[in-house]
Homo-oligomer: A and B are copies of this chain.
Amino acid sequence: MASNLLSAPSRTLAPSPAPAPAGFRGRVPVQAHFPRRGGFGFGFAPRRSSRALRVRASVAIEKETPESEPPPTFLREDGHGSGSVRARFESMIRRVQGEVCAALEEADGGGARFVEDVWSRPCGGGGINPVLQDGRVFEKAGVNVSVVYGVIPPDAYRDGKGEADKNGAAAGDGHKPGPVPFFAGGISSVLHPKNPFAPTLHFNYRYFETDAPKGAPGAPRQWWFGGGTDLTPSYIIEEDVKHFHSVQKQACDKFDPSFHPRFKKWCDDYFYIKHRNERRGLGGIFFDDLNDYDQEMLLNFATECADSVLPAYIPIIERRKNTPFNEEHRAWQQLRRGRYVEFNLVYDRGTTFGLKTGGRIESILVSLPLTARWQYDHKPEEGTEEWKLLEACINPKDWI
């Protein structure tokens, strides 16, 4: 019998073998677009600017090696010093990872601890994947950080940059430019509490940056930020939902009054289970490929958003973690977890990319709940609390 199936993990720094993903043996090109999140990499795909890079391109990613403990940094020593945006972003997500894990362990009440898998790649980058499972409050909580170095083929880089750039620095010197190295770093987390009145939380912040193409040092670089924080309750407790959205709005409003309405709608649009005509949950904020503001400002914005996770979530958990519930509440929560699984396996770009390209499966699928339920043709009775939740998933509301 499998001895670890029902027992709670104890705190260890025991890296799993982090198996080589299927299809990856050293530096193998992968025909696909980039992931949005997960233990594998971080996404970028232009939506707003035709000059941004197109990313349905080949990338070269190495296999992972397990590490016994987290290194001070996953960054290469390649001239991007501690003051660079990538270095400050890595530092920020690792700080937030530590703070979130500590706060969750405290909220969980003392027993369960995060167990960490740490891995690196030979030519730079790596990840830390702490998972807390079967705690007193949390059924499953993963808080992944990873840093990925890779290479975009030059054709993909030039094709995406438009005619102006084709005739510019990258190609104007008569040399064919080489592949474009990139850096991507991010934090990605899903927290599934046990209590049906305590909502699931997902957040994910990431930064992407290219180096200049080899052979064209003067060519323009690309960078952008993406991410979001969203709430998935099984029951609507207005006080909680309003609090959550208020914290997101406060974070946005510090930077630009257009951010919150725009990123709230983007979130409602993204977490859409098309075959159900339902959102996964009650939204929050979501943005991607953000590069049309000052870079320092966006770094500060991503930091503010990541720092808003605990103030947005922990008060809700503290209020709801001990709320009494019965088997029907639990069954409804499990049905909504089924929807979470449907969204993540069918629509989430990071997950579907990771599955297709051989990312580290356990890191990618740590987002799935510990348990889920599918009941044939279940329809909540009109007017019930379950019906109200479903209604709000079908017709997104302005909560504040």
A interface residues with partner B (beta carbon < 8 Å): 1-6, 16, 22, 117, 131, 133, 140, 142, 274-277, 327-329, 331-332, 334-335, 338, 341-342, 345-346, 352, 354-356, 358, 361-362, 365-366, 368-381, 384-386
A16, A274, A370, A377: most-surrounded residue (chain B CB, <10 A): A377
Contact A386-B332, Cβ < 8 Å, known A133-B375, A373-B370, A374-B368 = no
Q: How far is the CA of A262 from the CA of B371 in the complex (A)?
A: 37
Q: Is B371's CB under 8 angstroms from A372's CB? A: yes
> Shortest Cβ distance from A343 into chain B, in angstroms?
10
Contact A6-B328, Cβ < 8 Å, known A341-B341, A365-B374, A371-B373 = yes
- Sorted nearest first, the 10 A-B pairs with minimum C-beta distance are A368-B374, A275-B355, A345-B345, A5-B331, A362-B377, A131-B376, A2-B380, A2-B386, A371-B373, A1-B328
Q: How far is the CA of A341 from the CA of B377 in the complex (A)?
A: 17
Name the residue of chain B whose CB is nearest to the CB of A364: B275
Q: How far is the CA of A376 from the CA of B331 in the complex (A)?
A: 22
Name the residue of chain B whose CB is nearest to the CB of A374: B368
> Shortest Cβ distance from A347 into chain B, in angstroms?
9
Q: Is B370's CB under 8 angstroms from A22's CB? A: no
> Shortest Cβ distance from A279 into chain B, in angstroms?
14
Across-interface contacts of A342 in B (CB, < 8 A): 345
